[in-house]
A and B are shown apart, each in its own frame.
Chain A
Amino acid sequence: MDHAPVTHTDDTDPTPTLFDEMDTTEPDADATPKKKAARKAAPQKKSGAAKVSKKSAADETATENASEPKTKTERTGTRKSAAEMATKQREISVAEFFTKNRHLLGFDSPLKALLTAVKEAVDNSLDACEEAGILPEIAVELTPTGEDRFRMAVEDNGPGIVHEQIGKVFGKLLYGSKFHKLSQSRGQQGIGISAAVMYGQLTTGKPARILSRTSKRADAHEFLMSVDTSQNKPDIHEKKVSEWEKDHGTRVEIEMEARYQKGLRSVDMYLKQTAIANPHVTIHYTDPGGEKVTYERATKELPAAVEEIKPHPHGVELGRLIGMLKDTSSRTLSGFMQEEFSRVGPKVARDICKLAKVSEKAHPSRIAREEASALHDAIQKSKIMAPSTNCISPIGEELVLQGLKKELEADFYFANSRSPAVYRGNPFVIEVGIAYGKPGGVGLDITQEGRIVKRDKAAAVTEDLVGNADEPIRVLRCANRVPLLHQQAACAVTKAVIQTNWRAYGLQHPKGALPIGPMAVMVHIASVWVPFTSESKEAIASYPEIMKEIKLGIQECGRRLGTYIRKGKRLRAEFDKRNYIEMYIPHIGLALQEILDLDDSERDDTVKTLDDVLQKSRKF
Chain B
Amino acid sequence: MAERKKKSPKSEPAKVKKAPRKLTGDDSKTLKLIEATALNVRTKIMGRTLPELKFPTRSLGNVKYDKSVGYFELGRGRKARALSVNTVKSFAQTLRLMAFSKEMVENDDFATKREAYYVSKNWSEAKFNDQPESDTVLDDIEALASLEGLSREQLRFYPEEHGGSVAGNLVVIDRDPETNNPIRIDCTSFGSGSYSIPHSVEHLKFETDAEFILAIETGGMFQRLNNHKYWKTAKCILVETAGVPTRATRRFVRRMADDKKIPVYAFVDCDPYGIANIYRTLKVGSGNAAHINRFFCVPQAQYLGVTPQDIIDFKLQDATHKLLEVDIKRAKDALKNDPFFAAHKPWVKAIEMMLKSGVRAEQQALAKWGLNFVIEEYLPRKLKEKKFLP
A residues near B, CB below 8 A?
576-577, 579-588, 590-596, 606, 609-610, 612-614, 617
B98 in contact with A591 (CB, 8 Å): yes
A588 in contact with B8 (CB, 8 Å): no
B9 in contact with A614 (CB, 8 Å): no
Complexed CA–CA distance, A617 and B50 (Å): 8
Select the residue from B9, B42, B98 with max chain A CB neighbours within 10 A: B42
Chain B residue nearest to A598 in the complex (CB): B42
The A-contacting residues of B in range 35-83, CB under 8 angstroms, are 35, 37-39, 41-42, 45-46, 48-51, 83
CB distance from B29 to the nearest CB of A (A): 15
Beyond the given pairs A595-B34, A595-B95, A595-B99, 16 more chain A to chain B contacts, judged by CB atoms under 8 angstroms and listed by A's residue number, are A576-B4, A579-B6, A580-B1, A581-B88, A583-B4, A583-B125, A584-B125, A587-B9, A587-B123, A588-B95, A590-B11, A591-B96, A595-B98, A596-B42, A609-B45, A614-B83
Chain A residue nearest to B36 in the complex (CB): A595
Q: Is B91 an interface residue (CB 8 A)?
A: yes
Chain A residues with Cβ below 8 Å from B49 are: 613
Complexed CA–CA distance, A587 and B91 (Å): 9
Chain A residues with Cβ below 8 Å from B95 are: 587-588, 591-592, 595
Chain A residues with Cβ below 8 Å from B39 are: 596
Chain A residues with Cβ below 8 Å from B123 are: 587
Select the residue from B84, B89, B99 with max chain A CB neighbours within 10 A: B99
Q: Which 4 A-B pairs have the closest CB atoms?
A: A591-B95, A594-B99, A595-B38, A587-B92
Chain B residues with Cβ below 8 Å from A586 are: 8-9
Chain B residues with Cβ below 8 Å from A584 are: 88-89, 91-92, 125-126
Chain A residues with Cβ below 8 Å from B326 are: none
Q: Is B85 an interface residue (CB 8 A)?
A: yes
Complexed CA–CA distance, A610 and B43 (Å): 11
Chain A residues with Cβ below 8 Å from B92 are: 584-585, 587-588, 591
Complexed CA–CA distance, A580 and B49 (Å): 19
Chain B residues with Cβ below 8 Å from A614 are: 50, 83
State whether A581 and B85 are in contact (beta carbons under 8 Å apart), knowing that A591-B95, A594-B102, A612-B48 are contacts in the complex: yes
Q: Is B352 an interface residue (CB 8 A)?
A: no
In-complex Cβ contact of B46 among A576, A588, A590, A609 (8 A): A609
B residues near A, CB below 8 A?
1, 3-6, 8-9, 11, 34-35, 37-39, 41-42, 45-46, 48-51, 83-85, 88-89, 91-93, 95-96, 98-99, 102-103, 123, 125-126
27 A-B pairs whose Cβ atoms sit less than 8 Å apart in the complex: A577-B85, A579-B1, A580-B85, A580-B88, A581-B84, A583-B3, A583-B4, A583-B6, A583-B125, A587-B123, A588-B91, A588-B92, A590-B11, A591-B92, A591-B96, A592-B42, A593-B11, A595-B34, A595-B37, A596-B38, A596-B42, A609-B45, A612-B48, A613-B49, A613-B50, A614-B50, A617-B50
A591 in contact with B85 (CB, 8 Å): no
A591 in contact with B45 (CB, 8 Å): no
In-complex Cβ contact of A590 among B3, B9, B85 (8 A): B9
Complexed CA–CA distance, A248 and B51 (Å): 74
Interface SS majority for chain A: helix
A613 in contact with B91 (CB, 8 Å): no
A592 in contact with B85 (CB, 8 Å): no
Complexed CA–CA distance, A576 and B4 (Å): 9
Complexed CA–CA distance, A580 and B2 (Å): 9
Chain A residues with Cβ below 8 Å from B4 are: 576, 579-580, 583
Chain B residue nearest to A591 in the complex (CB): B95
A613 in contact with B125 (CB, 8 Å): no
Complexed CA–CA distance, A577 and B88 (Å): 10
Chain A residues with Cβ below 8 Å from B83 are: 581, 610, 614
A590 in contact with B50 (CB, 8 Å): no
Select the residue from B8, B45, B51 with max chain A CB neighbours within 10 A: B45
A610 in contact with B6 (CB, 8 Å): no
CB distance from A169 to the nearest CB of B (A): 65
Chain A residues with Cβ below 8 Å from B35 are: 595-596
Complexed CA–CA distance, A587 and B6 (Å): 12
CB distance from B94 to the nearest CB of A (A): 8
Complexed CA–CA distance, A121 and B126 (Å): 67
Chain A residues with Cβ below 8 Å from B3 are: 583
Chain A residue nearest to B37 in the complex (CB): A595
Complexed CA–CA distance, A614 and B91 (Å): 14
Select the residue from B46, B92, B93 with max chain A CB neighbours within 10 A: B92
Chain B residues with Cβ below 8 Å from A580 are: 1, 4, 85, 88
Chain A residues with Cβ below 8 Å from B99 are: 590-591, 594-595
Chain B residues with Cβ below 8 Å from A591 are: 38, 92, 95-96, 98-99
Chain A residue nearest to B93 in the complex (CB): A587
Chain A residues with Cβ below 8 Å from B125 are: 583-584, 587
Complexed CA–CA distance, A580 and B98 (Å): 22
Chain A residues with Cβ below 8 Å from B48 are: 609, 612-613
Chain A residues with Cβ below 8 Å from B5 are: 583
CB distance from A239 to the nearest CB of B (A): 73
CB distance from B4 to the nearest CB of A (A): 6
Complexed CA–CA distance, A324 and B351 (Å): 109
Chain A residues with Cβ below 8 Å from B85 are: 577, 580-581
Chain A residue nearest to B15 in the complex (CB): A594
Chain A residue nearest to B127 in the complex (CB): A587
A576 in contact with B1 (CB, 8 Å): yes
State whether A606 and B42 are in contact (beta carbons under 8 Å apart), knowing that A580-B88, A592-B95, A613-B48 are contacts in the complex: yes
State whether A613 and B45 are in contact (beta carbons under 8 Å apart), knowing that A595-B95, A595-B99 are contacts in the complex: yes
Chain B residue nearest to A604 in the complex (CB): B8
Chain A residues with Cβ below 8 Å from B102 are: 594-595
CB distance from A603 to the nearest CB of B (A): 9
CB distance from A40 to the nearest CB of B (A): 84
Chain B residues with Cβ below 8 Å from A579 are: 1, 4, 6
Chain B residues with Cβ below 8 Å from A594 are: 99, 102-103
Chain A residue nearest to B102 in the complex (CB): A595
Complexed CA–CA distance, A57 and B34 (Å): 105
CB distance from A541 to the nearest CB of B (A): 52
Complexed CA–CA distance, A162 and B99 (Å): 92
Complexed CA–CA distance, A595 and B38 (Å): 7
Complexed CA–CA distance, A585 and B85 (Å): 12
State whether A610 and B51 are in contact (beta carbons under 8 Å apart), knowing that A577-B85, A588-B91, A591-B92 are contacts in the complex: yes
Chain B residue nearest to A607 in the complex (CB): B8
CB distance from B50 to the nearest CB of A (A): 5
In-complex Cβ contact of A592 among B8, B11, B38, B84 (8 A): B38
A582 in contact with B6 (CB, 8 Å): yes
CB distance from B53 to the nearest CB of A (A): 10
Chain B residues with Cβ below 8 Å from A613 are: 45, 48-50
Complexed CA–CA distance, A587 and B120 (Å): 11
Complexed CA–CA distance, A10 and B8 (Å): 85
Complexed CA–CA distance, A613 and B126 (Å): 21
Complexed CA–CA distance, A584 and B9 (Å): 9
CB distance from A569 to the nearest CB of B (A): 15
CB distance from B120 to the nearest CB of A (A): 10
Complexed CA–CA distance, A606 and B6 (Å): 17
A592 in contact with B1 (CB, 8 Å): no
Complexed CA–CA distance, A110 and B275 (Å): 96
A592 in contact with B126 (CB, 8 Å): no
Chain B residue nearest to A603 in the complex (CB): B11
Complexed CA–CA distance, A592 and B123 (Å): 14
B96 in contact with A590 (CB, 8 Å): yes
CB distance from A484 to the nearest CB of B (A): 45
A592 in contact with B9 (CB, 8 Å): no
Select the residue from B4, B38, B103 with max chain A CB neighbours within 10 A: B38
Select the residue from B5, B6, B46, B83 with max chain A CB neighbours within 10 A: B83
In-complex Cβ contact of B45 among A576, A581, A606 (8 A): A606
Select the residue from A583, A584, A591 with max chain B CB neighbours within 10 A: A591
Chain B residue nearest to A577 in the complex (CB): B85
Chain A residues with Cβ below 8 Å from B126 are: 584, 587
Complexed CA–CA distance, A582 and B4 (Å): 10
Select the residue from A581, A584, A590, A609 with max chain B CB neighbours within 10 A: A584
Complexed CA–CA distance, A250 and B13 (Å): 79
Chain A residues with Cβ below 8 Å from B46 are: 606, 609
